[in-house]
Each structure stands twice: as structure tokens, then as C-alpha cells.
Amino acid sequence: MELKQLIARVNRATPNLPPGSIGTNDIIDLLNEGQLNLANMSHKTALKKYELEDGYDAVPFPEDKLKIVNVYWSEDKRKLEAGAGSVPDSGEWATEPRIYYMMSSAIMLRPVPRTGDSVYVEYIPKPVPMEEDGDEPELDGADEYIVAYALHRLHLEGNSPGADTWDRERARALALFLETHDQEYQAPFKILPLW
């Protein structure tokens, strides 16, 4: 469904609010917020590979990162542990890192790797925001959820009794989306029964 159709659906079910309290841009923001929320819950990940040089310990975040899931080291993808707290000063050098730390715009590896190798960052990508009338949600089947999400928020902010109804509708749409998403993802991996 295109953005203009999603906006029209939200407008039809918007609670009675004072004139001028909610505009089209507010609805677009709520629809995009719902899309971000759904992307985070879908656990649909992407994998980005970075080649590092000897002694290099910083890996930039992927440009479309919503959430980092895992960080792996080298071709056999050994999972690194997430470190807690601030990044320790690393006078220690090792052949390969064991821990990673999340900084404001980069991932820091510790101990600093002594050899160049590959770092793989598994992350949940941020969906492209809808801005133009013809834009559609990036996640297939997201329409019902993001409309229910926007309406729940509008009813909640307007202290409307419809907030509970739209919260249930949002939960139903989420369950349906996740079930469909899981089936599509798992279908190629199902094991055929033995006769």
C-alpha cells in the first residue's frame, strides 16, 4: 500500500481531536516510527564485511544500522563477545580480538588485532522512511501493523477510549506479520519428512 493510502486509512479512523492538532506530517512520522518498530521486532538482519589492516581496531557502523546484533572475526565467523563499560586502554596486542565495544559511531575491537583480517557486522537495517505519496513500507506485509501503530498512538495521545482497541489491533497485526515473516524465512530450511 502506498503512503497516500496509508495516510487516508489513518485519517478515517483518527479520533476527534481539536482542529490543527494533527497534520499529515505527524501521521507520516507515526507511520515511519511504526515501520522502525516493526523492523526491530522482525529480526531481519544484514551482514556487512569490513577488511581491517594490522593494528586497526575501529569499525564504522553500517550506514543503515538500526541495531547491531553480532560481530564476527575472520572468514570462519568466530563470534566476539560484547564488552561492557568504557573501552579499555589496549597495550595488549593479540593475533585476534575477543571483545568489541560500541562507541558513538564505531565498534572498537579489543585486544587490538595484530594481523589484518575481516570483521563481519550482523545488524538490523533501518527501513527507508516513507516521504512521497507513492512510497511503500520496506517490509512486505507491514501495512496493517504500521496503520494500527499510528492509530494506537493517536488515540493514546488524545485520551480516546479507542486506544485499547487499536492496541489489540496492533498486537494482532504484529502476530500475523511475524508468523508470515517466519514462514517465509524458514520455508527453504524445512526438512522433508522421511517415509
User: In whole angstroms, how far apart are CA 102 and each of 87, 99, 120?
Assistant: 9, 10, 14
Range of the domain at 108: 46-125
Domain count, the chain: 2
Q: Per-residue pLDDT for 89 more than 60?
A: yes
Q: Per-residue pLDDT for 146 more than 90?
A: yes
Q: Per-residue pLDDT for 194 more than 80?
A: no
Q: Are residues 64 and 121 in the same domain?
A: yes
Does some domain include residue 57?
yes
pLDDT of 19-32, one tens digit each? 667 889 999 999 99
Instruction: Measure the CA–CA gap between 140 and 181, rounded to whole angstroms.
Output: 9
Q: Give the per-residue pLDDT at 106.
A: 94
pLDDT of 147-156, one tens digit each? 999 999 998 8
Q: Are residues 54 and 115 in the same domain?
A: yes
What whole-number percentage of the chain has pLDDT above 70? 86
Does some domain include residue 80?
yes
Instruction: Measure the CA–CA gap between 102 and 167, rounded to whole angstroms.
Output: 34
Does some domain include residue 119?
yes
